[in-house]
Structure 1
Amino acid sequence: MSLWFPRLASERVLRTCPHDGAFALTFNEKNANRLYCLNGQAEAQGLYRGMAYSDARAFCPTLQTIPVDFRADQRFLEILRRWATRYCPWVGFEGVDGLVLDITGSAHLMGGEEAMLADISARLNRTGLSVRMGLGNTRGAAWALAHHGEEGKQIVKAGEELSSLATLPVSALRLDEETCVTLQRLGLRYIGDLVETERAPLLRRFGPSLLKRLDQTLGWQPEPVTPLEDPIHYGVRMTLPEPIGLLSDVMAGTERLLERLCDKLKKQEAGVKELCLTARRVDQESQQATLRLARPLRDPHRILPLFERGLSEIEAGFGIDQLRLQAVHVEALPNQQTSYLSSGCKDQLDDLITRLGTRIGLENIQRFLPADSHIPERSFSVAPAAFCEPDSKWKAPRPRPIRLFGPDPVEGEDARPPRRFRWRGLFLTVRNCVGPERIAPEWWQQDGNWSSGLRDYWQVETAEGRRLWMFYTPQEPGWFVQGEFA
């Protein structure tokens, strides 16, 4: 069975944002916007897929459009694929807007083929989706009926492929557009014309692909349906013969589950970042313990000690008779070559972040990262340490102070640092200074503190031992202290 959704992309959007008039999705091709998927009202106005957006607005000034989201359309088609498994287990994709089902041995469960087609059509129509269906003994025949068949002729019986499909155009064989145009120029417009033509000239002219599609459609060559594999489930469980309640027993059971789960992760070259242990008690109540890791791991000996704090908070009640461990968040963790030069310092830091994160939250443990800006206040960003890697590429044309604070005004109007000034209640004497370093503001950024004017920065060393970072504003003469070197 072949299911074709001719308006899948537009109807996906209209299901959440209904619109009564002409509507279409657009995409960009060679710096020009074109129509991608239209609703029925837009097609009634004479618009078609691939039409230039400017021409479409000239034909239909009331046309409403939004850009297409290919990823959202693919996710929606995946949802439809999972839904279609209610009719048969073998469901695969047919392009970007169709599905193919192998209903062998499943049709009688729905009351027959016609009853199954009627049920699918009714359910999809209630959800606002247009669908065209075809059913045949071969995958190609079902596709041909869905895309080029007439209304009311949706089923091709076994052995009647040639008589039922002979009047369909050659494009029903799933050929590329260039091949279809060439066949039409040669006078071969229908599938019946190809069957009556000698195969040797067709093979020399078009290669084996044309005859392969013809044979697959007519059932002379097999074409299986390849369903998608179910996603790997990273979950293990253990049913206990006797209830347990001690922390040591729960830890021992968790260790066995971790070993099984980590073996599965190792085979897939994956690591876990979030684990959830569910302990079912004898009164059918469940207790959960969640562990969020700073880095993907699959080493049970490193994960188990980190789990101890969460497991200690589980209330066993009258006893626990089942443990279930599930990897909630899994990331790729490829195998790496180890050597005697490798160090475990980074692993110890990750474990420390995880331990602290279980108490105060992983989001509250942060690190500084370099940012692409020449403004001192914007040359860094703060991010959670568990969700980013340290970056050693700090780019600074000149030394920058360790401590930065709001500019503190000091007395002085000369272009060079004052010989003696007062700052935060201290009288300081300048012994040495290096500069100036002129920095201009980033005018394209919205910053209320510094949006215009220049600053001349100086490294000032005082006789009292303070090493300050000061700047002078030539547009409004004045001196300020903004940082202090260690």
Structure 2
Amino acid sequence: MFDGASRRTVSLWFPRLASDRALRGCPAHGPFALTLRQDNTNRIHCLNAVAERQGLYRGMAFSDARAFCPDLQSRPAEPKADLRFLMGLRRWATRYCPWVGVEGDDGLVMDITGSAHLAGGEAAMLGDLRQRLGRIGLTARIGLGDTRGAAWALARHGEGVAAPGAALAALGPLPVAALRLDAELVTALQRLGLRTVGQLADTARAPLARRFGPGLLMRLDQALGAQPEQISPRSEPPHYGVRISLPDPIGLQADVMAGTERLLIRLCDRLKQHEAGARILCLTLRRVDQQAQHVELRLARGSRDPARILPLFTRGIGEVDAGYGIDQLRLEATQVESLPSEQISHAGPDRRDRLDDLITRIGTRIGLENILRVLPADSHIPERGFIIAPAAYSRPEPFPPSPRPRPLIMFPPEPITATGPRPPQQFRWRRMRLTTMRATGPERIAPEWWLDDENWRSGARDYWRVETTQGRRLWLFHTPQNPGWFVQGEFP
């Protein structure tokens, strides 16, 4: 049997984690709730104690909650921000023990075996936990037991401490839901009269296993220490930052570039170990007067090649005011992306690498978001057949061959005076009188019925390529459902 009495585990449960986090930044007096859209309905995601006392609960439709509580204050929930906050609490909890894991989306589990004496004992550690969490405005319930299951049960259904080796005595009065069972299984046990953990433990095991499967007894044994359950702490994400302290201040651009090169080599080695590439680099130069200068470099493509990155810092470092000297340099990759290793080619640098370097150099002057490229889009509508995207955050894609030629210059439709389904012999466009010499068409293009586009409400269009005696080669279309002629493009 697993010796669970030799280990001690703490479970931290934050029943109002989302609302407590939201209220820390912007307090609200009175009933408060966070809403989340589920199944096309706004429902309560988390709420404070005042709202709970007025009868509101999680999962309740927000419209019903406002009917019950007209003065209810609400904000949209932010699950990603809540997860980041929980990860921050996990890192903070390592002050008490090195083994801290995440329990669901609102709890932590801590293996304090051999660590409690550093805080003055278990009672002193739990008291310090409650005091510090309460000080930052978090509602926390704490359970302590020999096993992870016992601590979880006590935190969520009793908030107590199980003495070493006395897990059954502490868990016996708790409901069977404290064993982390599914709601359907809990309901089935209650129908048999098994409402508490003690009643379940006193029942013959063979009939329970035949009726409910091995999962029920596994959860019971994990809580009582008859079966082991490990705590897997989350590993810290890699930190891509390096620094160097100088014995004597420097101020020449060449010296700063030399220091930056040393930092780049170390940083790129770390990026290579994790098969990552830097997209945004921040160089911090600390002066002897404790003022700091920052040089940010945004790359058009993830890279970990010091020889390619270093020249890109020249412009930014040249604009730095060194003051009375710089005594510390720090380089950090603030944004990274996956960059798997590739086969080295004998042909030399790829053309794409040179293009990315050019985009980066221009981007340091005008901004990467201002360098755009045209990409194909999946649409048969002429003006929707392409999109414009930042070149640094997209890859070039070839346009599929078109069965019909498209004009090089395209603009919003401009009306002309004409009648009939065929192109007019003479018409005026942009103050020019034009005469049709040759017309090719029609090419009928129907609107995308699943999109409500105001420009296409006139219905289908019949497109014509019209060559004029004046040398203009225009793209005209006629709308038969709502008769009219328009010019939309011009061929070279």
Q: Which runs of 5+ in 2 are unaligned?
A: 1-9
Give the secondary structure class of the aligned counterpart of 1:323: strand
Give 1:393 deviation, angstroms.
4.2
* Residue number among 2, 7, 13 corresponding to 1:4 in the alignment: 13
Shift, 1:263, TM fit: 1.7
1:399 aligns with 2:405: yes
What is the CA-CA distance between 1:89 and the residue it aligns to?
3.9
TM (norm. structure 2) is 0.81
Q: Which amino acid aligns with 1:146?
A: A
> Is 1:467 paired with 2:473?
yes
Conserved in 2, the CA contact under 8 Å of 1:456 and 1:471? Answer: yes
Whole-angstrom CA distance in 2 between matches of 1:285 and 1:55: 53
Would you say the 8 A contact 1:9–1:25 is kept in 2?
no
Partners of 1:24 and 1:42 within 8 A in 2: no
| Secondary structure of the corresponding residue to residue 307 of structure 1 | helix
Partner residue in 1 for 2:140: 131
Task: Provide the residue aligned with 1:114 in structure 2.
Answer: 123
What pairs with 1:306-325 in structure 2 (closer than 5 Å)? 306-325=312-331
Q: Are the equivalent residues in 2 in contact too, given 1:370–1:393 (CA < 8 A)?
A: yes
Match of 1:251 in 2: 257
Hey, what's the Cα distance between the residues in 1 that align with 2:278 and 2:251? 27
- Measured after TM superposition, the shift of residue 232 of structure 1 is 0.9
CA offset digits 1:113-139 (Å, max 9, x no partner): 434434443454465543322123333
Q: CA deviation at 1:57?
A: 6.9
| Residue equivalent to 2:339 | 333
Q: Determine helix, strand or coil for the equivalent of 1:141.
A: helix
Aligned equivalents of 1:204, 1:24: Cα separation in 2: 43
Q: CA–CA distance in 2 between the matches of 1:478 and 1:55?
A: 49
Shift of 1:272: 0.8
- The whole-number CA distance in structure 2 between the counterparts of 1:205 and 1:442 is 57
Aligned to 2:278: 272
Choose from 165, 180, 184 the match for 1:174.
Answer: 180
Q: How does 1:36-115 map to 2 (within 5 A)?
A: 37=46, 40=49, 53=61, 60=68, 70-104=79-113, 106-107=115-116, 112-115=121-124
**Which range is displaced more, 452-461 or 183-192?**
183-192
Paired residue secondary structure (1:354):
helix
Query: Is the contact between residue 281 and residue 333 of structure 2 (CA under 8 Å) also seen in structure 1?
Result: yes
| Alignment partner, residue 296 of structure 2 | 290
Give the equivalent residue in structure 2 for 1:227: 233
Listed as ranges, the matches of 1:366-445 within 5 Å are: 366-394=372-400, 398-408=404-414, 412-421=418-427, 423-424=429-430, 428-439=434-445, 445=452
Identity of aligned pairs, percent?
61
Letter in 2 for 1:149: G
8 Å Cα contact 1:276/1:326 also seen in 2: yes
Q: Which amino acid aligns with 1:148?
A: H
Q: Specify the alignment match of 2:5 in structure 1.
A: none
Secondary structure of 1:135 counterpart: strand
SS at match of 2:286: strand
Instruction: Count matched residues.
Output: 480
Residues 328-337 or 408-417, more deviating: 408-417
Residue 368 of structure 1 contacts residue 380 of structure 1 at CA under 8 Å; is this kept in 2? yes
Task: Give deviations 1:304-336, integer Å, cap 9, x for gaps.
Answer: 222222222233344433321110111122233
How far did residue 353 of structure 1 move? 0.5
Change (3 A) 1:233 1:417: same
Deviation of the 1:377 alpha carbon: 3.5
Alpha-carbon distance in structure 2 between the residues aligned to 1:260 and 1:459: 61
Unmatched segments (≥5 aa) in structure 1: none
Q: Which of the residues 152, 166, 187 maps onto 1:143?
A: 152
Greater shift after overlay, 289-298 or 171-180?
171-180
Matched-pair contact (CA < 8 Å) for 2:458–2:479: no
Structure 2 vs 1, CA of residues 426 and 245 (structure 1 numbering), >3 Å: closer, same or farther? same
Task: Tell me how far apart the structure 2 counterparts of residues 43 and 278 of structure 1 sit (CA, whole Å).
Answer: 48
The residue number in structure 2 matching 1:485 is: 491
Structure with the larger RCO, 1 or 2 (CA within 8 Å, 6+ apart):
2
Please say if residues 472 and 480 of structure 1, whose CA atoms lie closer than 8 Å, have aligned partners that are also in contact. Answer: yes
**Mapped contact 1:26–1:66 kept (Cα < 8 A):** no
The CA distance in 1 between the partners of 2:281 and 2:85, in whole Å, is: 28
Q: Distance in 2 between matches of 1:149 and 1:394?
A: 65
TM-aligned CA distance change 1:250 to 1:126, over 3 Å = closer
Bigger mean CA deviation after superposition, 452-461 or 9-18: 9-18
CA deviation after TM superposition for structure 1 residue 419, in Å: 3.3
Contact persistence 2:35–2:62 (CA under 8 A): no
Tell me, yes or no, if the aligned pair for 1:271 and 1:296 is still in contact at 8 Å: yes
Partner SS state of residue 469, structure 1: strand
Q: CA deviation at 1:278?
A: 1.7
Moved more, 287-296 or 454-463: 454-463
Which amino acid is 2:12 matched to? L
TM-score (norm 1): 0.81
